[in-house]
Structure 1
Amino acid sequence: MAWASLVVAGLFEMFGVLMINKLHKDRSWQSLVLLFLGFGASFLFLAYAMKTLPMGTAYAIWTGIGASGGAILGMVLYGESKDWKRLVFIAMVLGAAIGLKLIS
């Protein structure tokens, strides 16, 4: 259950990052509320996962999901560069997160 919570925390982290971009573009109170809800939920699920998972592992995977997911969403939704080198490094981040899961 802790691993599932950690993945959900990472997904909420990605949502929070999207809301930062949305808030930057339209400055609405709805974007601000969604930003706080996204990051708040992310921290709650991360805290739950850290009850049983080691802090370093949980934090590394959480940030890996958020960072790589944010980069992928930027490519898909906002036309950011899809250069092969960028994709290789995103894959390396995800590979490291999977590696931490396998050894934990």
Structure 2
Amino acid sequence: MGWIYLILAGCFEVVGVTGMNKVIKNKNVQAYMILFTGFIFSFGFLSLAMRTLPLGLSYAVWTGIGTVGGTIVGMLYYGDSKDWRRILFIAMIVIAVMGLKLTSS
């Protein structure tokens, strides 16, 4: 169950970061609600995941999901660069997270 919580935590991290971008652009109540809801759920699920998974593993996977997710959202919805090198490094992060999963007990 810890891995499910960790994946949810990473997904809500992406929601929080997206909310951050919306706050910078709009500064309305909806943008702040997305920001706070995303981060509250993200930290909540991260704390649940850390009950059964080690700290270092949890933090690395959580930030990896947030980094990859935030970058992909930026590329798809906010016009961020889609350079092949950027995609290569995203793939490297995904491979590193998969390696952590495969080597954890």
TM range (shorter): over 0.9
Alpha-carbon distance in structure 1 between the residues aligned to 2:44 and 2:96 = 23
TM-score using structure 2 length? 0.97
Aligned CA-pair RMSD: 0.6
Moved over 6 A (4+): none
Q: Identical aligned pairs, as a percentage?
A: 54
1:66-94 CA-partner distances (Å, limit 9, x unpaired): 01110011000111110000001011111
How far apart are residue 34 of structure 1 and its match?
A: 1.9
How far apart are residue 29 of structure 1 and its match?
A: 1.8
**Equivalent residue, structure 2, for 1:15:** 15
Question: Structure 2: which 5+ residue stretches go unaligned?
Answer: none
1:11-55 CA-partner distances (Å, limit 9, x unpaired): 000000100011111110221122111101000000000000000
How far apart are residue 64 of structure 1 and its match?
A: 0.2
Residue 70 in structure 1 maps to residue 70 in structure 2: yes
**Equivalent residue, structure 2, for 1:42:** 42
**For this pair of structures, how many residues does the alignment match?**
104
Alpha-carbon distance in structure 1 between the residues aligned to 2:98 and 2:33 = 32
